[in-house]
A and B are shown apart, each in its own frame.
Chain A
Amino acid sequence: MSLLAVSNLTKCYRRGDKTIAAVDDVSFHIDPGETLALAGPSGSGKSTIARLVLRLIEPDDGRIDFEGSDFLALSGAALRARRARLQMVFQDPLAAFNPRATVARVLDDPLRVHGIASRAERPRRIAALLERVGLIADLAPRAIHEISGGQRQRVAIARAIATKPSLIVLDEAASALDVSVRGEILKLLLDLQRQEKIAYLFISHDLGVIRSVAHRVILLDAGRIAENGDAQTVIDAPQSAIGKALVAAAPRLNRTLMRLASAGLD
């Protein structure tokens, strides 16, 4: 059985006198421990799908099944309990956290809210979480705005895994990071996935990164699924018009090198 099954999801927004289908009849599933990537041009509906799956916004139509239950029908304590299993990491962790909060505070919240560890036990848990994401425990008393962007994204991941989720939604979570740091964060995500069997809904505009870390990919165009399949297969040979345009637009170092080399021979 799928971990997450999304059926006929639709979400419209009004703009002036027009209605725009930000997400238009979208269906997909994610298996346990699997990474499904969403790609597509700006405005194609990627973040709207993320927000719908997280129930930050409500759909106009469609159904979401998560861990075997009708996620949209849950409320109260049942919803809260299920929410612990579904976490998120966004592009800008500074925007997600109170910048004056300490690292310890940011990690203490989910442990407390979801009743995962007693007050006495929490400092040890926080230290273990920091270690799990490759940070030293000494970072705990530092304020969020006092640590680097890469460290902050590790803290965001530590917070996401604090509640032992089965699925993490990552919306451009590695996009704003320097390439050297980005590689480390991607390796950390894969490592966590291997060990804890976490599934990811991985949103990125970077097809190279998607091809590197995702099992499957969905290409979106104007709220609809344009193409869908094995990440490497789709990106190596896209069939849809938007897929071809996205791949053609991606800068390519090796192609440039070959062009320069052949120009040098003339």
Chain B
Amino acid sequence: MTTLASIRDLTVTYRRDSNEVAALRSVSLDIANGERLAIIGESGSGKSTLALAIAGLLPGSSRIGGRIDWFLPSSPPSGAKAPPSVLPDISPSRGEIGSSPAGPLSASLAMGESGDKGVISPLEGEMSGRTEGGLVRREVRKSSLKQSYIPRLGRDIGFVFQDPSASLDPVMTIGKQIAEVARTHLGLTWSQSYARAKSLIERVRLPDPDSALRAFPHQLSGGQKQRVAIAAAIAAGPKLLIADEATSALDTIVQAEIVALIRRLVTEDGMTLLFISHDIALAAELAERIAVFRHGQLVELGMTAQIVGAPAQHYTRALLDAHIGLDTRPLLDRAGLHA
């Protein structure tokens, strides 16, 4: 199995008031091409921070260190072999990536799809931001993260958030939001982009695709909105799909539908999935491998059967024991009530 991304010593701290909060401490892990990898852990363990760091979405108040080597089709083929010294150093001074001299990065620029005017523009160096109707607004951040390539959000990485409302523009039609991602990243015309949006709406199984294209987010249920957010996330055919608690705000029936949808789309498109969840049972149903996080550190990483069936770490065992499933022995002593 080939590697999609190799993360080494990833460290993230947030500045809050005058304090520094360490959210990730020297995390190293490889994401394999085409795998479904789950990240689990309790709240505050650093799951979202990892997802945001990989996607280049961390806020300006954060400080990142470490290194990520990318093996995306559009990233330099020799990226892994490049000595660290020639890797673009993602620091403010190297922000002007578009003007950087020859090196692994320029290989990636040369390979950029035609029509995508977005060779990495000077504005898109080492930055963060948030999505707006599928587009990303970025801001410059202090960082010593070394990356062999700067993946583009939307094009290389699709991101699905917990709250679909937050990632959708309330005053833009569903069709336009999805089409815009395809147009921006694939260089399609508007009519080609709308055609792609319609087929995506069909693929995520929204009822009545033609009227869904013209609908606004508030006219859809939470589960339907999440389907739209997924359609927008995969509109430009990213290699990596990151879903951060994407089903946690939905009821269990809708959650099961969305999980089945993600599984189908990832398989059909040969995508790699990073599935972030606090629910170990849900993660185990979907993922081939599970990484357990605690206090910003990677506690254990293994095949799902091993993590769930024979965890090596006490903490993983404790998480499993705390799970209350449909066949767990009840806490309630039922003899008590009428005694």
Q: Which residues of A approach B to under 8 Å, CB–CB?
A: 31, 33-35, 41-42, 149, 178-180, 182-183, 186-187, 190, 194, 205-209, 211-215, 232, 235-236, 245-254, 256-257, 260-261, 264
Cβ A251 vs Cβ B251 within 8 A: no
Interchain CA distance A260-B278 in the complex, whole Å: 21
Cβ B326 vs Cβ A180 within 8 A: no
**Known interface pairs A211-B326, A251-B285, A252-B326. Does A245 touch B279 (Cβ–Cβ under 8 Å)?**
no
The 6 A-B pairs at the shortest CB distance, nearest first, are namely A249-B256, A251-B281, A42-B251, A260-B305, A179-B322, A178-B42
- Contact residues in B for A208 (Cβ distance below 8 Å): 323-326, 328
- Contact residues in A for B254 (Cβ distance below 8 Å): 41-42
B285 partner, pick from A35, A247, A256, beta carbons under 8 A: A256
Q: Which residues of B approach A to under 8 Å, CB–CB?
A: 42-43, 222, 250-256, 278-282, 284-285, 304-305, 308-309, 318-320, 322-328, 330-334, 336-337
Cβ B42 vs Cβ A179 within 8 A: yes
Q: Which of B250, B280, B326 is most buried by chain A, counting CB atoms within 10 A of its CB?
A: B326
Interchain CA distance A87-B331 in the complex, whole Å: 23
Interchain CA distance A211-B323 in the complex, whole Å: 13
Cβ A211 vs Cβ B304 within 8 A: no
Q: Which of A179, A183, A209 is most buried by chain B, counting CB atoms within 10 A of its CB?
A: A179
A246 partner, pick from B252, B305, B322, B337, beta carbons under 8 A: B252
Cβ B323 vs Cβ A253 within 8 A: yes
Q: Which of A194, A250, A256 is most buried by chain B, counting CB atoms within 10 A of its CB?
A: A256
B253 partner, pick from A179, A235, A246, beta carbons under 8 A: A246
Q: Report 30 cross-chain contacts, Cβ distance below 8 Å, ordered by A residue.
A: A33-B337, A41-B253, A41-B254, A42-B250, A149-B43, A178-B42, A178-B278, A179-B278, A179-B319, A180-B42, A190-B331, A206-B252, A208-B324, A208-B328, A213-B330, A214-B332, A235-B326, A245-B253, A246-B252, A246-B253, A247-B326, A249-B255, A250-B252, A250-B325, A250-B326, A251-B282, A253-B281, A256-B281, A256-B308, A257-B309
Cβ A253 vs Cβ B325 within 8 A: yes
* Cβ-closest chain A residue relative to B44: A178
- Contact residues in A for B284 (Cβ distance below 8 Å): 251, 253, 256-257
Interchain CA distance A183-B318 in the complex, whole Å: 11
Q: Which of B308, B325, B334 is most buried by chain A, counting CB atoms within 10 A of its CB?
A: B325
Interchain CA distance A249-B72 in the complex, whole Å: 35
A213 partner, pick from B278, B308, B323, B331, beta carbons under 8 A: B331
Q: Which of A31, A42, A232, A253 is most buried by chain B, counting CB atoms within 10 A of its CB?
A: A253
Shortest C-beta distance, A203 to chain B (Å), equals 13
A207 partner, pick from B319, B322, B326, B330, beta carbons under 8 A: B326
Cβ B331 vs Cβ A186 within 8 A: yes
- Contact residues in B for A236 (Cβ distance below 8 Å): 326
- Contact residues in B for A248 (Cβ distance below 8 Å): 256
* Cβ-closest chain A residue relative to B277: A251
Interchain CA distance A250-B251 in the complex, whole Å: 10
- Contact residues in B for A42 (Cβ distance below 8 Å): 222, 250-251, 254
Shortest C-beta distance, A153 to chain B (Å), equals 13
Interchain CA distance A42-B328 in the complex, whole Å: 24
Interchain CA distance A207-B308 in the complex, whole Å: 21
Interchain CA distance A42-B257 in the complex, whole Å: 14
A215 partner, pick from B282, B320, B332, beta carbons under 8 A: B332
Interchain CA distance A91-B284 in the complex, whole Å: 26
Cβ B278 vs Cβ A212 within 8 A: no
Shortest C-beta distance, B156 to chain A (Å), equals 30
Shortest C-beta distance, B257 to chain A (Å), equals 8
* Cβ-closest chain B residue relative to A35: B332
- Contact residues in A for B322 (Cβ distance below 8 Å): 179-180, 182-183
Interchain CA distance A149-B44 in the complex, whole Å: 11
* Cβ-closest chain A residue relative to B288: A260
Interchain CA distance A207-B252 in the complex, whole Å: 10
- Contact residues in B for A250 (Cβ distance below 8 Å): 252, 325-326
- Contact residues in B for A34 (Cβ distance below 8 Å): 337
Interchain CA distance A252-B325 in the complex, whole Å: 6
Cβ A232 vs Cβ B330 within 8 A: yes
